[in-house]
Copies of this chain bind each other. A is one copy, B any other.
């Protein structure tokens, strides 16, 4: 059976496992005060190009989103997001649990545009009753998005500029950041993200760590006592060094990008496999999530040997499906998929 359901089906990159084994019985203090975490922070500060970067390691994506958004918003503040955004759809109300509304705008293939955001803000503040509404104070975007698409540097800068003009914070959900950085045609770097955003996170769970996300805040004043806020959010790992060690490994010798690259390369091969059989991608995604509109008969046949996600019907005879590759997908899995496709 071949599995393309998601990018969190395996454990961790072998180098991570090796380091966890090597250090397993070492004794360190907890809560991220250990030397591994300190080195990981320094490596990430180097990577984003600023020693003011306030770096914290959390366990998971929804947790990181809720903790950052909850810490950065106040009072009646709301966060703007794509209607397809993870925080708007698939976090069971984690943002609302912090008391803040998600204001959703219609997205195009998972993306928001600067002009759409600006238009919304302009109309919002023109409305005489705006003070009776949840006031937009942050924009949340995903890079890559939930549909595999990415923002260009110019698009990111435009959104950042709109945010600055209207005094909104910009937060980028980087659960799959590695696959975005490694995407063909991508011109956004970690330094660009740091420059354009108030906060973002570097996803580990889906890009080769066993678990863990590296949250990067522009500076320490954005969220005073953020450490305590992480604790209050139930998001502080006792054995913090597990996170530090993993991200230290990831940011040594380019492992993080290597993990991203494997996912993207396999995804491109997978896409070519479908295209060569005449199936066009439903979305032009340069990252590790690929969407196709396939005949239901093909879906049924493939399903005997391959798992993937069903995203919804398209008329009577076709459906949209999602295939996901990852840091762990071996080239031979694509070869096997190709062979299967050739059978039908």
Residues of A within 8 A of B (CB): 3, 5-6, 8-12, 14, 17, 20-21, 23-31, 59-67, 70-71, 74-78, 89-94, 96-97, 99-102, 128-129, 131-135, 205-206, 210-211, 223-229, 231-239, 242, 310, 328
Contact = CB atoms under 8 A, between A and B. Distances in A.
Nearest to A14: B24
A24 B237 CA distance: 21
A239 B17 contact: no
Most B CB within 10 A of own CB, among A65, A91, A205, A210: A91
B228 A92 contact: yes
A101 B96 contact: yes
Query: What are the nearest 7 A-B pairs in CB distance?
Result: A63-B234, A11-B24, A93-B134, A92-B231, A76-B228, A9-B27, A92-B232
A242 B11 contact: yes
A234 B231 contact: no
A8 to B, nearest CB: 4
Contacts of A11: 20, 23-26, 239, 242
Contacts of A75: 70-71, 223-226, 228-229, 232
A71 B76 CA distance: 9
Contacts of A76: 92-93, 225, 228-229, 231-232
Nearest to A6: B30
Contacts of A26: 10-11
Given A74-B224, A101-B96, A135-B228, A236 B9 contact: no
Given A75-B229, A76-B231, A94-B234, 5 more contacts: A59-B59, A75-B228, A77-B225, A97-B233, A211-B238
A13 B93 CA distance: 36
Contacts of A12: 24
A210 B242 contact: yes
A97 B128 CA distance: 23
B96 A132 contact: no
B225 A239 contact: no
B91 A232 contact: yes
Contacts of A66: 234
Contacts of A211: 237-239, 242
Contacts of A74: 74, 224
A10 B27 CA distance: 5
Nearest to A123: B312
A131 B91 CA distance: 9
B235 A234 contact: yes
A96 B94 contact: no
Contacts of A99: 93, 96-97, 99
A89 to B, nearest CB: 6
A136 to B, nearest CB: 11
Contacts of A78: 93, 96
Given A75-B224, A238-B60, A232 B97 contact: yes
B205 A238 contact: yes
A29 B99 CA distance: 29
B17 A30 contact: no
